[in-house]
Structure 1
Amino acid sequence: MRLDKFLADMQIGSRKEVKKYIKDRRVTVNGQVITSDKIQVADHDVVTFDHQPVQYQKYFYYLLNKPQGVVSATTDPRDKTVLDLLKDKDQRDDLFPVGRLDKNTEGLLLISNDGVLAHQLLSPKKHVEKEYYAEVAGILTVEDVAAFAKGIIIDGNEQTLPAEMTILAVDPKQECSQMRLILHEGKFHQVKRMVKAVGKEVTYLKRVRMGDLSLDEELALGDYRPLTEAELALLKNAVK
């Protein structure tokens, strides 16, 4: 890889800016000051900028505990986005949320620049499980569980794939319920639309799992961290 591309990819500056940094003798490769941006560097080369080592990384993966009130988008003219939650040092132009959570839905959201993995995780053909915890206005019943298990018709005359609902609690006095739901697809507002189709309403929604990757409960709302190698392996295994 050319040295200027290497540095630009690592957010040292634009291609034009890093060319100037190189000419200004601010870059070394293997201890030698380099003044040509056309030099090729490999994985084993040691590159520094202003005496600080620059380690090349192609893909980035962050596990975010999305709070309510932010949108799953790269930019938005009105609302704060999930990318706005990243610290300056982690900001990159190529990062994006993998899939969407509604503005008022909380929980697990993957932020990455790996388009191939993102496509595989979201592809209906891969049937990667997404698990949600929901609080519902209304009394969930065993009939609702059976209907979800068969797949139901939601508004817009859309047919859902079979989904696994578990009723966690029911409060007859408050006329509310708690449930977990496992989906194998990702239709727009799907959980809310499925619950509406059986005559109830979602009042709180949180995604807790994607594939075998579970939300880190130690992450406060709005916090994030890089995926571990083991967690990344779980995601990649889910799409094989």
Structure 2
Amino acid sequence: MYKVRLDKYLTEMGLGSRSEVKQGIRKGFVRVNGETVVRPEHKVSVKDKVFWKGTSVDFVEYEYIMLNKPAGVISATEDSREKTVVDLIPDSRRKDLFPVGRLDRDTEGLLLLTNDGKLAHRLLSPRHHVAKVYYAVVSGVMTEADIRSFAEGLYVDEELTALPAELDILSVHPAAGKSEAEGSGNPEGTSEIRLKIYEGKFHQVKRMVHAVGKEVIYLKRLSMGSLRLDEALRPGEYRRLSTSELEELYAE
């Protein structure tokens, strides 16, 4: 049975920094299998019964959390000035969570947070072409010509020719008449679209829409592979993945 140092075990379970945990161990805060342990280097395994200040500490190797990312939060693990997606998970058991891929600061929707590097690589690797579906509101009227351009593989700029993508135009709201449009700030109208892409380049959805002469004004990710955003989650809310959701992701 694989064993780790007691201070490492407790630190990974979020009981404090390594130095704080060591200090607590030496003060007698920890009992292992009914006995007080004061040596940080004491080795434990997942089968040992570990208590910190009388509270059981069960080892969790991996966490998988679905977050409905709100706008205004950055997809990072830490930042000295801005709130990060990790800051939104106060009860995480692991302190090494990271977002799988990133959503722009102003983009909402599905974001997976985990400490499972193997799964993250599987979902992000260009070789696997894991589908990502977005809902967007676009300034401008999307057309059948845009659908064909996206399906053929769109030349975006000198850095990106996007893989073929599936564009669905959900609705189009043409510009209102002159009297109604005064002060609207949107003389070209708007469109609502759903877009499925198979890669994850920097600002890809916004760049693709810009390449056909429109601009994204609202963007939300709905799914990533088999994982779909739980509609019960409001922006900023999260939950842990179910066993079936995790199995489906690993089958991608």
2:196 pairs with 1:182: yes
AA of the residue aligned to 2:122:
Q
2:51 pairs with 1:59: no
Distance 2:83 2:18 in 1: 29
Question: Could you tell me which residue of structure 2 aligns to residue 14 of structure 1?
Answer: 17
AA of the residue aligned to 1:99:
G
Percent pairwise identity: 53
2:226 pairs with 1:219: no
The two structures have a TM-score, normalised by structure 1, of 0.91
Alignment of 1:124-163 (within 5 A): 124-163=126-165
2:204 pairs with 1:204: no
Using the TM superposition, name which of 73-82 and 210-219 deviates more: 73-82
How far residue 156 of structure 1 moved from its aligned partner, in angstroms, is 3.2
Identify which of 63, 71, 76 aligns with 2:74.
Answer: 71
Identify which of 210, 230, 233 aligns with 2:244.
Answer: 230
Aligned partner of residue 193 in structure 1, secondary structure:
helix
Identify which of 88, 103, 106 aligns with 1:104.
Answer: 106
AA of the residue aligned to 2:191:
S
Using the TM superposition, name which of 121-130 and 24-33 deviates more: 24-33
The two structures have a TM-score, normalised by structure 2, of 0.87
Using the TM superposition, name which of 20-29 and 217-226 deviates more: 20-29
Structure 2: stretches of 5+ with no match in the other structure:
177-188
Identify which of 123, 126, 129 aligns with 2:125.
Answer: 123
How far residue 163 of structure 1 moved from its aligned partner, in angstroms, is 0.5
AA of the residue aligned to 2:167:
M
Identify which of 83, 86, 91 aligns with 2:89.
Answer: 86
| Cα distance change on mapping 1:43 and 1:77 into 2, 3 Å | closer
Distance 1:157 1:14 in 2: 42
AA of the residue aligned to 2:239:
R
Aligned partner of residue 12 in structure 1, secondary structure:
coil
Aligned partner of residue 146 in structure 2, secondary structure:
helix
Q: What root-mean-square deviation, in Å, do the aligned CA atoms of Structure 1 and Structure 2 show?
A: 1.8
How far residue 216 of structure 1 moved from its aligned partner, in angstroms, is 0.8
How far residue 154 of structure 1 moved from its aligned partner, in angstroms, is 0.5
Question: Could you tell me which residue of structure 1 aligns to residue 183 of structure 2?
Answer: none
| Cα distance change on mapping 1:26 and 1:86 into 2, 3 Å | same
2:185 pairs with 1:195: no
